[in-house]
Amino acid sequence: MSSPPIRLEAVLVEIGSVAVAVSGGVDSVTLAALAHRVLGPDAALMVHAASPAVPAEATARVRAEAARAGWSLRVIEAGEFSDPAYRANPVNRCFFCKTNLYGAIARVTDRTMASGANLDDLGEYRPGLDAAAEHGVRHPYVEAGLDKAAVRRLSRDLGLGAVADLPSAPCLSSRVETGIRIEPEVLAFIHAVERRVGAALGAGGGDAKRAVRCRVRAAGIVVELDPTSLAALDGPGRGELEGWIAAQAPGRLAAGAVRFEPYRTGSAFLVGRGVGAGASA
């Protein structure tokens, strides 16, 4: 039986002309790098959607890798912020996000679309996968049997350097509690908090075990940290960060409490009353 990486190459060859949706994280960047290597720039098109929900560093990473490796790259706007259903932030917000994304990609190319979803994603609530199914999107990692750990190994094998150790980084909207409207200025605040807290803790972008999540909740602002980071956040530095966060908070968020808590996957998604389980974020 062939190994997963060999099966992955076979899947890409079978797809042929492909448009890879590249968010800027380890999964999609690694898939894009392999597609470029296996199929070449004429058959492999990379599409990145710039958005208030996508950190500027992710867009910069995609542009830099495309320039370094010679990818064929299109940077587009998916238009999800013009979609009232997305902005309302229901528990299946990702469905509307991905519907807008794949629709936008389909408007610039008729190639088969491919995502960076891996086997680990199948065990979580991922409404974006429903949108992918509606648009005929392929998931090469899933088809070839690769989980997250295998993707990171492949990334290292491809010489992608620090990309292989990037922490998981879902879109910024995933930090906003279900039912709270998605606003660009709130996402900018979330990103600023995560950068500031990460810098204060020395948590760079190359440690896959680190987690810094700024959650916007009805009850206030919660910064969730991995155990090592949370233990390190003590003394006067903690109070200074709380004060800075409160001062930067836009609008009604400024009146809420600021707390630091252990990181919990998908904790911004409300569960119960038929709402469903949370996606990884």
Q: Which comes out higher in pLDDT, residue 26 or 2?
A: 26
| Residue 266 binned pLDDT confidence (cut-offs 50, 70, 90) | confident
Q: Model pTM? A: 0.91
Residue 70, SS3 per DSSP:
coil
What amino acid occupies position 263? Y
Class of residue 46 by CB neighbours under 10 A (exposed 0-12, middle 13-18, buried 19+): buried
Structure confidence at residue 235 as a pLDDT band (50, 70, 90):
confident
Strands 72-76 and 18-21: unpaired
SS3 208: coil
pLDDT of 204 above 60 = no
How confident is the model over 206-215, as a mean pLDDT? 80
- Angstrom CA distances, 83 to 86, 98, 181, stand at 5, 12, 12
Bridge partner list, 224: 213, 261
Looking at residue 275, its pLDDT comes to: 38
End-to-end CA distance of the chain: 34
Q: Average model confidence (pLDDT) for the chain?
A: 91
Q: Is residue 256's pLDDT more than 80?
A: no
Q: pLDDT band at 196, cuts 50/70/90?
A: very high
Minimum mean pLDDT among 30-34, 131-135, 166-170: which range? 166-170
The pLDDT tens digits of the residues spanning 136-174 come to 999 999 999 999 999 999 999 999 989 999 988 889 999
Q: What pLDDT is attached to residue 274?
A: 37
Highest mean pLDDT among 118-127, 131-140, 229-238: 131-140
User: For the chain, what percent of residues have pLDDT higher than 70?
Assistant: 93
Determine contact, residues 126/112, Cβ cutoff 8 Å.
Answer: no
The helix or strand, by DSSP H or E, that contains position 112, with its residue range, turns out to be: strand 112-114
CB 260, CB 233: distance < 8 Å: yes
DSSP H/E element including 47: strand 44-49
Q: Please say whether the beta carbons of 61 and 29 come within 8 A.
A: yes
**What values do phi and psi take at 145, rounded to 5?**
85, 35
